[in-house]
Amino acid sequence: KGHRMSDLGIRVAFVTSERLYDEQRGQIRRTFGCPVANGYGGRDAGFIAHQCPAGGMHITAEDIVVEILDPNGRAMRDGESGEIVVTHLATGDFPFIRYRTGDIGVLDTKSCSCGRGLPLLKEIQGRSTDFLIARDGTVMHGLALVYILRDLPEVKAFKITQETLELTCVQVVLESVLTDDLRMKIVAGFKARLGADVGIEVEQVAEILPEKSGKFRYVISRLDATKRS
């Protein structure tokens, strides 16, 4: 409606629920004219970590234990990627012990410059189903394909679904019709990362619907990348 949002006096914008991408953080910061603070948690586990003004993602270690485990339940070293598993110390009526979140993350090896002294999550890489497997077995984050679509100005929204090692489907919302040239760009970019013999199906749709939870999923894999050796 033509109203400026950057002069409302908002001191900080807190975001949670979905992964915060760098482009989203920048857009929120520019729109509201304030810093953006990320929060991480789960419906069952509650809040797990909060971002401080210095940028560190501090684990609420006063009442929660966070571990990073491999697919066999072994603890990963700080700085190594694995599944985020939490034990909540403040849920006496219904305790959560080593609750598997399904998220992939990394504990930081350093402390934050703010001086709080709490352990840090260095990265929250996304859901285990956000990871894709190339035809040669290489495991990659879905961002490898997300950036292909985000670099195409014609694409306004999208959803990537890896059905099998041999087939990945791409739904796109476009400003106009899906041209052969655009289809070829998408297919070529995906094949370069997943494998030349992988089938890439591109479908134009009117809109991308959210999941039942209300969240939007940009990347879904029917394969379990966390169980790859």
13-127 belongs to which CATH class?
mainly beta
Q: What is the CATH number of domain 134-227?
A: 3.30.300.30
Give pLDDT tens digits for 135-162: 999 988 787 898 899 889 999 999 999 9
Rounded CA separation 19/217 (Å)? 10
Residues forming CATH 3.30.300.30 domain(s) in the chain: 134-227
User: Phi/psi at 123 (nearest 5 deg)?
Assistant: -145, 145
Quick one: pLDDT at residue 185? 96
Quick one: pLDDT at residue 5? 80
Give pLDDT tens digits for 201-210: 999 999 998 8
Beta-sheet pairing, 167-174 with 36-42 = unpaired
pTM over 0.95: no
Instruction: Please answer whether residues 174 and 206 qualify as being in contact, where contact means their C-beta atoms are separated by less than 8 angstroms.
Output: no
pLDDT-derived band at 225 (thresholds 50, 70, 90) equals low
Rounded CA separation 77/74 (Å)? 10
Rounded CA separation 12/84 (Å)? 27
Residues forming CATH 2.30.38 domain(s) in the chain: 13-127
Give pLDDT tens digits for 85-123: 999 887 767 778 888 887 888 999 999 999 999 999 998
Contacts of 68-74 spanning 24+ positions with Cβ under 8 A: 68/105, 68/106, 68/107, 71/226, 71/227
